[in-house]
Structure 1
Amino acid sequence: MFDDEYFMKQALLEAHKAFDKNEIPVGAVVVSEQRVIARAHNLT
């Protein structure tokens, strides 16, 4: 079973993707019943 820390790390990985593209490093994951159902990062 995953904990909040695991999902926060997943969001940080998304933020790193934005940073690597010279974007503002914002990342997010949407979780339902211990499963990531969406993930994204800043794409301006």
Structure 2
Amino acid sequence: MSNLSKTREQMLSVLQRVDKTVEQEVSQMVRVLQHRTEALKFASHSIV
């Protein structure tokens, strides 16, 4: 039983780490998209 709970704890910590990594990746992607959107707005203004 204690072995099983140890495995559960390990899985939980792995999941939390994955969660943090995903969160960082997503926020980075959002930032990139915001920059691109700004760049596109700027470009479209200069064309017109």
Give the shorter-chain TM-score range: 0.3 to 0.5
- Identify the structure with bigger relative contact order (alpha carbons < 8 Å, sequence gap 6+): 1
Question: Considering only CA atoms, is the larger Rg found in Structure 1 or Structure 2?
Answer: 2
More strand by share: 1
Where is the helix percentage greater, Structure 1 or Structure 2?
2
- TM-score normalised by L of structure 1: 0.42
